[in-house]
Amino acid sequence: MIKKLFLGFFAFAILFTAKAQESREDIQQKQQQLLREISELNSTLAQIKKNKKQSLGQLALVQRKIAARQELINNINKELRRLDDTIYLNQLQINRYKKELANLKDQYAKSLVFAYKNRSNYDYLNFLFSASNFNDAIKRVAYLKSYRQYRQTQVTTIEKTQQLLQQQIAILNSNKVEKSTSLKEQSKQLTVLEDDKKEKDQVVKTLKSQEKDIGAQIKEKEKTRQKLQVALQAVIKREIEAAKKKEQQRLAEERRKKELAAANNASNNPNASSNAGKSASGSAGVVNPTNNNRVYSPFESTSEEANVSINFENSRGRLPWPADQGFVSTHFGRYQVPNTKLYGDMPGIEISLPSGSSIKAVADGVVSAVFDLGGTQTIVVRHGKYFTTYNNLSSSSVQKGQEVKAGKVLGKAAVGTNGDGQIIFMVTNEKNVNLNPESWLKAK
């Protein structure tokens, strides 16, 4: 009986408690992460409020804080559901223990009554001497011993079951306290969420009153975007022409070597000249990429060059951010300023961060261009057939043609239109199509 009880308890512990514990650790880890993010957002927001020009960045921050707060509340709700499930299953286990304990006590009481009725030595001796033979008497002695051991086992089982019951009750009480704490935290975060929403409404109201100034900022950004797109297009076109020229030179060199080898072979073996000529002429042409299913690009004429592009593609969603700190103040694509008719178009992502922050390469590559754009520096790095652009740098620490590794400092962030440090980070393919950088960078 006791063995079955322990097996049942451990099966319950392994199948439920371990799984619940893992889920609990995940939930609590996510909760701590969100609390740290909210704390950092509040710290950055306090700095931004000192500058009236930072309304757009302030709105982006408040919106992100609301999203993080809502995610935190959802996380707390998950924790509450987990606790409800735990409390329910713990209560079921307690009921099982109580039922088992009642059965054990009932069986033990019956054995005591039986022992009381047969307590005299005469009954004991009569039971032994009534055996038909010696072997039968030995069996009866063994039976009486086992019966006494059974009663002792009953006592042990009852004691252990009581211990398990008390342990389960203690766990249940702990779960209830934990649930009460989570409910208080949920109520607190819901209250703060309402304050965050009021803050957002106030920021939107401020934006509305500054619509003219914000409109001027967006127009300035649009001019920068157009200049940046034209400059980037010129860089990519120049890189493609250089790649094609390099490929032609490589093919010409290959043909020259093959023709020279064929000529040497023909002088040594006149009969092989016609076949050698056919072989030499048939081998001329563009080198196929190693992956036959891959669309050809001038930047991928050799397996080494193709691997650079493939490595960049394989890092999608895992690339490091170009700066150690900061937040996305404007996301990729077309956007609208709330409660206004103002629209903008962002070719990459705008990252607000302290001015002078180090800006780093997100992947291995070669610097394609370093140029001035509106009084600030712009750096373009090529990664096979992909390009990353780092715009609005106060200084650059690399040169055109330089090979860089991921994490290499390219320059420092300059001041943006909002009065604080700001850069535009872009990811572009060889067709000059801008891609959403946030889908390439790892989640913060």
pLDDT above 70 for 363: yes
Q: 10 Å Cβ neighbour count for 259?
A: 15
Which pLDDT band holds residue 124 (cuts at 50, 70, 90)? low
Which pLDDT band holds residue 2 (cuts at 50, 70, 90)? very low
pLDDT above 50 for 286: no
Q: To the nearest whole percent, how much of the chain has pLDDT over 70?
A: 78
> pTM for the complete prediction?
0.66
pLDDT digits (tens, 9 = 90+) for 335-358: 887 777 888 899 999 998 888 999
Structure tokens at 267: 């002088």
Which pLDDT band holds residue 50 (cuts at 50, 70, 90)? low
More confident residue, 80 or 138: 80
In DSSP notation, 5-50 reads HHHHHHHHIIIIIHHHHHHHHHHHHHHHHHHHHHHHHHHHHHHHTT
Q: Do 376 and 395 meet the contact criterion of CB atoms below 8 Å apart?
A: no
Least confident of 257-261, 281-285, 295-299: 281-285
Which pLDDT band holds residue 35 (cuts at 50, 70, 90)? confident
More confident residue, 237 or 7: 237
Amino acid in position 126: N
More confident residue, 368 or 131: 368
Q: To the nearest whole percent, how much of the chain has pLDDT over 90?
A: 32
pLDDT above 70 for 276: no
Q: What is the pLDDT of residue 57?
A: 74
More confident residue, 55 or 261: 261
Number of residues in the chain = 444
Q: What is the pLDDT of residue 439?
A: 95
CA distance 351 to 4: 62
Q: Do 351 and 72 meet the contact criterion of CB atoms below 8 Å apart?
A: no
Q: What is the pLDDT of residue 300?
A: 84
Identify the three-state secondary structure at position 200. Answer: helix
Name the residue with tokens 């619940």: 20
Report CA dihedral (10, 15, 21, 25) to the nearest 10 degrees. Answer: 150
Closest CA to 391 of 311, 330, 342: 330
Name the average pLDDT for the chain.
Answer: 80
Which pLDDT band holds residue 143 (cuts at 50, 70, 90)? low
In DSSP notation, 364-430 reads SEEEEEEEEETTEEEEEEEETTEEEEEEEEEEE---TT-EE-TT-EEEEEPB-TTSSBEEEEEEEET
pLDDT digits (tens, 9 = 90+) for 378-429: 999 999 999 999 999 999 999 999 999 999 999 999 988 766 788 999 999 9
The b-or-e profile of 29-62 (16+ CB within 10 A means b, else e) is ebbeebeebbeebeebbeebeeeebbbbbbbbbb
pLDDT digits (tens, 9 = 90+) for 159-206: 888 888 888 888 889 889 989 999 999 999 999 999 999 988 888 887
CA distance 108 to 159: 12
Name the residue with tokens 């097996």: 7
Q: Do 180 and 137 meet the contact criterion of CB atoms below 8 Å apart?
A: no
